[in-house]
C-alpha cells in the first residue's frame, strides 16, 4: 500500500522467499538476517521467519548466525536440463578450442534480457574476468548475447530494446537502431563480435549453437585481451566449434540423460 513499489511485485510467501534467495546470487557468501533485511527492504520479522523456513526445507543452510546457499540448491542446479545436455555436448569442443587458442572459451544461454554462462574455460590471462559459471551479463553487451538475440523472434528483441540498455563501456551499443542494424548484420554473417563493448580492453566473437531443428539453444564465445587475440582468426574457430556442437547435439538427439537410474 506504500506508494513506493517493491523491488518486484512480490506478494506470495514464495515470492518473498525468491527475493531472499536472489540476494545470494552475488556470491557474497553468508548473509545475516539484518543484512538481508537491509538489502530486500522486507520487514525484519518476515525475513527471520522466511529464512528459517528455507533452512528447514534445505534450500539454505545455517553457518553460525549467518545463512548461505544450501546443498539442495547445488543439487537442483546441477540438474537444470537446459544447461545439462548442452554443456555435455559442448565440453569436448570447448576444450579443443581452449587448448588451440589459449583464450577464454564460454558457453552461454539467453534468459530474458541477459545471458547466463553455463560453462567457462579461462584463458591464461582470463583469471581476472568477472564472468562466472552461473553468472549473468546484459545480452546487448556481449557477443554471445548479441548472436542469440540476432536469431531470436522479433518480440523478444523488442523486449530487450524496450528497457534501458546499460552502458558498460563507452563502446557498448545502447542505441536501439544501431543495435538492430548490428543484429541484422550478425544474422547475415552468422557471427557476432564484441569490440570492447562489455569490458574495456576485451574483445571476442560468438556463434550460435543449434539443436537438430535449427533452433538456437545457446552461443559459443571466445574472448581475450585486445591485441593478444585476432578476431579474424578466432571468427572461423568459433564458428567451427559451434557447428561441431550443433552437429553432436543433432546426432545425440536425446538431450535426455544417458545415465542409468538407480533412483535417489
Partner DNA sequence: ACCATCGTTCCGATGAGCGGGACTCACCCC
Partner DNA sequence: GGGGTGAGTCCCGCTCATCGGAACGATGGT
Binding site for DNA (CB under 7 A): 11-16, 32-35, 37, 42-46, 48-50, 52-53, 65-66
What is the C-alpha to C-alpha distance for residues 219 and 191, in angstroms, rounded to an integer? 10
Question: How big is the chain by its Cα radius of gyration, in Å?
Answer: 20
- Interaction mask 104-143, a copy of itself, x per CB under 8 A: -----x-x----x-x---------x-x-xxxxxx------
State which residue, 250 or 255, has the beta carbon closest to a copy of itself.
255
Minimum distance from residue 263 beta carbon to DNA (Å): 20
Helix (H) / strand (E) element for 216: namely strand 216-225
| Contact between residue 225 and residue 215 where contact means Cβ atoms under 8 Å apart | no
H-only helix segments in the chain: 13-22, 33-40, 44-57, 71-78, 81-101, 143-150, 154-162, 176-189, 231-252
Q: Which of a copy of itself, DNA, none interacts with 238 (beta carbon under 5 to 8 A by kind)? A: none
The answer to whether 57 contacts a copy of itself (rule: CB under 8 A) is: yes
- Listed in sequence order, the residues at least 6 apart from 14 whose beta carbon sits closer than 8 Å to its beta carbon are none
Minimum distance from residue 239 beta carbon to a copy of itself (Å): 25
Q: Which of 18, 100, 184, 200 binds a copy of itself (CB under 8 A)?
A: 18
Helix (H) / strand (E) element for 90: namely helix 81-101
User: 119 to each of 9, 107, 136, 221, 228, how far by Cα in Å?
Assistant: 32, 5, 12, 11, 22
The answer to whether 44 contacts a copy of itself (rule: CB under 8 A) is: no
The answer to whether 252 contacts a copy of itself (rule: CB under 8 A) is: no
Minimum distance from residue 161 beta carbon to a copy of itself (Å): 19
The answer to whether 208 contacts a copy of itself (rule: CB under 8 A) is: no
What is the C-alpha to C-alpha distance for residues 221 and 107, in angstroms, rounded to an integer? 6
State which residue, 33 or 240, has the beta carbon closest to DNA.
33
Q: Which of DNA, a copy of itself, none interacts with 259 (beta carbon under 5 to 8 A by kind)? A: a copy of itself
What is the C-alpha to C-alpha distance for residues 48 and 44, in angstroms, rounded to an integer? 6
Q: Which of a copy of itself, DNA, none interacts with 187 (beta carbon under 5 to 8 A by kind)? A: none
The dihedrals phi and psi of 69, each to the nearest 5 degrees, come to -55, 135
| Contact between residue 104 and residue 222 where contact means Cβ atoms under 8 Å apart | yes
Give the binding site for a copy of itself (CB under 8 A).
Answer: 10, 12-15, 17-18, 21-22, 24-27, 29-30, 50, 53-54, 56-59, 61, 68-83, 109, 111, 116, 118, 128, 130, 132-137, 256-257, 259-264
Amino acid at each position: 500500500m506504500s506508494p513506493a513499489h517493491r523491488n518486484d511485485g512480490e506478494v506470495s510467501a514464495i515470492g518473498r522467499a525468491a527475493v531472499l534467495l536472489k540476494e545470494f546470487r552475488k556470491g557474497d557468501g553468508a548473509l545475516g538476517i539484518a543484512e538481508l533485511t537491509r538489502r530486500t527492504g522486507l520487514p525484519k520479522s518476515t525475513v527471520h521467519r522466511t529464512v528459517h523456513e528455507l533452512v528447514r526445507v534445505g534450500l539454505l543452510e545455517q553457518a553460525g548466525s549467518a545463512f548461505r546457499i544450501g546443498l539442495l540448491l547445488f543439487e537442483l542446479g546441477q540438474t537444470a536440463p537446459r544447461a545439462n545436455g548442452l554443456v555435455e555436448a559442448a565440453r569436448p569442443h570447448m576444450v579443443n578450442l581452449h587448448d588451440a587458442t589459449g583464450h577464454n572459451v564460454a558457453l552461454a544461454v539467453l534468459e530474458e534480457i541477459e545471458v547466463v554462462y553455463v560453462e567457462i574455460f579461462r584463458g591464461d590471462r582470463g583469471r581476472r574476468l568477472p564472468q562466472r559459471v552461473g553468472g549473468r551479463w546484459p545480452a546487448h553487451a556481449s557477443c554471445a548475447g548479441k548472436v542469440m538475440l540476432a536469431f531470436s523472434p522479433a518480440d523478444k528483441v523488442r523486449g530487450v530494446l524496450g528497457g534501458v540498455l546499460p552502458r558498460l563501456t563507452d563502446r557498448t551499443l545502447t542505441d536501439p537502431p544501431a543495435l538492430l542494424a548490428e543484429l541484422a548484420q550478425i544474422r547475415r554473417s552468422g557471427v557476432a563480435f564484441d569490440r570492447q563493448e562489455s569490458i574495456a580492453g576485451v574483445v571476442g566473437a560468438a556463434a550460435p549453437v543449434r539443436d537438430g531443428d535449427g533452433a538456437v539453444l545457446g552461443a559459443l564465445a571466445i574472448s581475450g585481451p585486445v591485441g593478444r587475440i585476432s578476431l579474424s582468426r578466432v571468427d572461423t574457430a568459433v564458428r567451427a566449434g559451434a557447428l561441431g556442437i550443433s552437429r553432436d547435439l543433432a546426432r545425440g538427439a536425446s538431450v535426455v540423460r544417458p545415465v542409468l537410474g538407480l533412483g535417489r
